[in-house]
Structure 1
Amino acid sequence: MSRRFSPSNLFLGSLFVLAAFSFDQLTKTIIADIVMQPPRVIVITGFLNIILSYNEGVSFGLFSEILRGRPEILVFTSSVIVAGLLVWMSIAGGRLEAAGLGLMAGGASGNIFDRMERGKVTDFIDFHLAEWHWPAFNLADVAIVVGALILVSGSFLSPQQDVIGK
């Protein structure tokens, strides 16, 4: 797989960054400022609710007690990771890899923006099975997971099998 600067992969990946960030921020604003005024549980299906939740920790609220009131720690750490993803995206071996990295960087940027604006991340998707609830999440988290899945699945393809932009 070729590892040299690719303006076209950087451009494509940047579109995915922008899309993930924009959709994440739009949905968080709509949910927090309009739909959840007043805050409540909105049942969508037997396994999906809309709620309003805030996360001051890392994934799934881990280390919330340690990080509460110190969003700058996660802003800095996440920003370094996003910078690394953007550099990687600029030398991606293919369009699929660039798209996956763009989704991850865009999702992480959405959560960084939340921490800078509110000191915590806005979550609103409540997925559950009977009484067991997955920790609440948002579209930034979805973009990060989908981007990671694209990277993993793309690693099993040869460069000639890159499915984006053929």
Structure 2
Amino acid sequence: MKAQMIVALIAATALADQLSKSAALSKLSLGQPIAIMPGFNLTLGFNEGSSFGMLSGIMAGKPVLMAALTGALTLMFAVMAFRARQPFERAGFALVVGGALGNIIDRLRQGAVTDFLDVYWREWHWPTFNVADIAITLGAVCILAASLPSRRRKEPVLEQH
């Protein structure tokens, strides 16, 4: 995966996230779930904290600080994307960066991250999430998979430029 492809994957991920959040903001009402299928609702919510709402009490009302902290980590992952030698690893870092950028945009634009995907079982609900969160999770899985010994032998290693 070349540098242009990394940039394209980052941009496509952030764009898909922002478009999905725009649709959620225009079609959903806060806290009013729309049933899609058993175990899955669309439910608009906002997260001022980090993943799964952690730190929301501490970071409430501090979106610029949260965006700055996330931005520093995102920059680190972007550097890792361009330095990674395996295409699968590069794609993983690009997905993480694109997802993180999508959430940073929300924090700077509206003070909190828009969440709307609600997975549940009976009365138990997983924390509501969004497309950026899916990209970050898939990216982490790609990075972990690229680090497996059997995967490392089979995948071609890219030359550093």
- The CA distance in 1 between the partners of 2:123 and 2:101, in whole Å, is 32
Instruction: Specify the alignment match of 1:152 in structure 2.
Output: 144
Aligned to 1:28: 21
The reply to whether residue 19 of structure 1 matches residue 12 of structure 2 is yes
Q: For 1:158, what is the secondary structure of its paired residue?
A: helix
1:136 alignment partner, SS class: coil
Normalising by the residue count of structure 2, what TM-score does the alignment of the two structures yield? 0.90
Question: 1:38 and 1:146, CA in 2 relative to 1: closer, same or farther beyond 3 A?
Answer: closer
Unpaired segments of 5 or more residues in structure 2?
157-161
State the distance in 1 between where 2:125 and 2:24 align.
19
Post-superposition offset of 1:37: 5.0
Cα–Cα, structure 1 residues 37 and 53, in superposed 2: closer, same or farther, change >3 Å? closer
| TM-score calculated relative to the size of structure 1 | 0.88
Pair 1:117 & 2:109 matched: yes
Alignment of 1:1-166 (within 5 A): 8-33=1-26, 35-37=27-29, 40-156=32-148, 157-158=151-152, 160-162=154-156
Counterpart contact for 2:48–2:60, Cα < 8 Å: yes
RMSD (Å) for aligned C-alpha atoms? 1.4
- Deviation at 1:10? 2.2
